[in-house]
Amino acid sequence: MNKGPSEELIIANKELLFQNSEKEKRAKELVIANKELAYQNNEKEKRAAELIIANNELAFQNSEKEKRANELAIANRELAFQNSEKENRAQELIIANKELVVQNDEKQKKAEELTRAYDKIKSTEVFLKEYIQGLEEMMFMTHHKVRQPVANILGIAQMLSQFISSPATLKKLIGYMEVSALILDDFTKELTSFIENLEKKGKNNKG
């Protein structure tokens, strides 16, 4: 059975509507695809810009590495020179130490000679007489030139304390004077004892 023109037209219109619907879908998909492509292109541009920055940074770092390498080469040469100088100083130090050993041996010999000379001097009668005479002079000075003024100070202090009615300040001063005199007296006694011991040692050496 043949279809009439109206039926074919209806079918053609349906087909056309279907195709138009499909085209709209494709158009929408194309719009979405274009947006996605634009986004991807934008991301690619960002990555490209980042890559350019990274390349610049890498070039800068390589330049810095070269500078550091040059500086390291210079430092190594300087270190090699310093090591050479240290070796030279070490050799000089070895020589100086050997010389010092020789000098120490000479000093030891001289010290032994001086010790023997000193022992001879110690054993002489003249040295002992002069030593004892000096001690006797010191004893005389201690007894007569120091002890006597101290005794006078103590006597005066006692007289002032017993017979003079003075203000409190004067009494304090007298007390201070007496304390000082006692300290000085103790010192002279100690010095006298020390000198007596030295005199005994000198006489023992003489004997």
> Mind giving me the DSSP string for the chain?
-PPPHHHHHHHHHHHHHHHHHHHHHHHHHHHHHHHHHHHHHHHHHHHHHHHHHHHHHHHHHHHHHHHHHHHHHHHHHHHHHHHHHHHHHHHHHHHHHHHHHHHHHHHHHHHHHHHHHHHHHHT-HHHHHHHHHHHHHHHHIIIIIIHHHHHHHHHHHHHHHHH----HHHHHHHHHHHHHHHHHHHHHHHHHHHHHHHHHHHHHHH-
According to the model, what pLDDT value does residue 162 have? 61
- Residue with the two structure tokens 């020589």: 95
Whether the predicted pLDDT of 206 surpasses 60? no
Whether the predicted pLDDT of 137 surpasses 60? yes
Whether the predicted pLDDT of 21 surpasses 70? yes
Q: Would you say the pTM of this structure is higher than 0.95?
A: no
pLDDT band, very low/low/confident/very high, at 35 (cuts 50, 70, 90):
very high
Percentage of the chain modeled with pLDDT above 70: 75
The pLDDT of 26-34, averaged and rounded, is: 91
Tell me the pLDDT tens digit for each residue of 161-183.
666 666 776 777 677 777 777 77
pLDDT band, very low/low/confident/very high, at 39 (cuts 50, 70, 90):
very high
